[in-house]
Amino acid sequence: MSTETLTIEKIGQSGDGITRGPFGPVYVPFTLPGETVALAVNKDKGTVMSMSDVSPERVAPKCRHFGPEGENGTCGGCSLQHASDSLYQDFKRQLVLDALKSKALQAEVAPLVLAHPGERRRTVFTARRTEKELLLGYNQPETHHIVSISECPIASPGIVSRLAVIRTVAKAMAVNAEPFRITVLETLSGLDLSFEGIKAMDDRQRRMAVETVLGQKSVARLSLNGEILVEPIKPVIDFGGVSVSPPPGSFTQATRPAEEAMSELVLAHLGKAKRVIDLFAGSGTFSLRIARKARVHAVESEDKPLKALDFAARNTQGLKPVTVEKRDLFRRPMMASELKVYDAIVFDPPRAGAEAQTREMARSGVKKIVAVSCNPVTLVRDLRILVDVGYRITSVTPIDQFLWSSHVEVVATLEK
């Protein structure tokens, strides 16, 4: 441990300020470029002791729980509330520019599609019962300390106004002092509460939790480790006019505006394509919208989301035929010979990207491809594979879905 006075040079990929210490880069949370700070330095981590030069781009945080001065500790839900809108938006777009440059890819990058407070319909809380209360919030960065929240400007009003309801249900679910996670999804019919990490609930505790939910009109479903405990009303979300009931805790886009922006880009690039394959289809975010205009084959590795997609497609009038296939695309990617019968491919893989699948796409020669990604680094790796065999990147659009974080979504379109 040493004490150093240093100047922050830039914001790193994780949202921390970066400066040069005596032995290499030092990462300093909650700082901005140009700020001179006295630091307690431990290896490559710096903790601000005092600040002499403050950036003109520094703004007051929007939440009482943010930063080192946060109420109940430093909330890990956000990392960049202290940055001005212009600095923050430039940072997110630059993440995409830097990723493209790292693979020598040439493409115009559109302005960032902005996120706004109160848009998050899905968030994951950590909770733990203590002798005095039920802690509900987000972990302090790099610790197991839970910062219990009383507000959350990123979350939807429908979630924030029901924090007391979520706490009440969590109290009924907590069997000991071990921490657990709650995925909260605001649906059209109420909150979908999916608990994970709770073990050994006995029948009496389960009954108590069910009775607690039945006493709360705003909860549509309660599940534990994927098992539905009670479902007073089926949770429903809307994918472009198609009603879908996703399985407990399954992946959905975190905000509806970001989902709409991504979908518009996908549909615009597909144009008049008549046969489309949607890889890593989930519960049908893109498939069900595409089916308004084209035949769709939806491929997904998890059974329950695929069944939700299939059920929604079968029970919605006015859609083109939708077929589904359960398949692990990491272990058994769709082969080029299977892909070449389609006019267009849409793929939206997890953070790891889809290298093996992309190599088969490259061999297929399908005219149009849309890549949707939550990780610019793996996205550009996959794009490089396609560009190397003659695909041309026609657009790259960064989309902010996780406000005040270092995460950015990207939609890239390609043509052979």
- Annotated binding residue 300: yes
Whether the CB-CB separation of 215 and 232 falls below 8 Å is answered with no
Asked, for residue 263, whether it belongs to a domain, the answer is yes
Average pLDDT value over all residues in the chain: 96
The predicted pLDDT at position 185 comes to: 98
Cross-strand bridge partners of residue 214: none
- Helices 163-173 and 203-214 pack at an angle, to 10 degrees, of 160
| One domain for residues 21 and 101 | no
Q: Identify the band that residue 368 occupies on the pLDDT scale cut at 50, 70 and 90.
A: very high
Q: What is the pLDDT of residue 411?
A: 98
Q: How far apart are CA 27 and CA 14, in angstroms?
A: 9
pLDDT digits (tens, 9 = 90+) for 292-338: 999 999 999 999 999 999 999 999 999 999 999 999 999 999 999 99
Of 63, 78, 152, 374, which is the active-site residue? 374
Q: Quick one: pLDDT band at residue 80, thresholds 50, 70, 90?
A: very high
Domain annotation covers residue 288: yes
Is 347 annotated as contributing to ligand binding?
A: no
H-helix or E-strand spanning residue 181 = strand 180-187
What is the DSSP-derived secondary structure letter of residue 193? E
69-73, 169-173, 342-346, 367-371: least confident range: 69-73
pLDDT of amino acid 67: 93
pTM, rounded to two decimals: 0.94
Asked if 63 is an active-site residue, the reply is: no
Boundary (domain end) residue, out of 230, 264, 290 = 230
For the beta sheet containing 219-224, the strands, ordered from the edge strand earlier in sequence to the opposite edge, are 146-148, 134-139, 122-129, 180-187, 190-196, 219-224, 227-230
260, 176: one domain = no
1 has pLDDT over 90: no
**What is the rounded CA–CA span in Å between residue 416 and residue 410?**
20
Based on the fold, state whether residues 129 and 20 are members of the same structural domain.
no
User: Do the annotations mark residue 348 as ligand-binding?
Assistant: yes
Q: Are residues 289 and 352 in the same domain?
A: yes
Residue 142 is predicted with a pLDDT of 86
Predicted pLDDT at 23: 85
- What percentage of the chain carries pLDDT values higher than 90? 94
Number of domains comprising the chain: 3
Parent domain of 100: 90-115+255-415
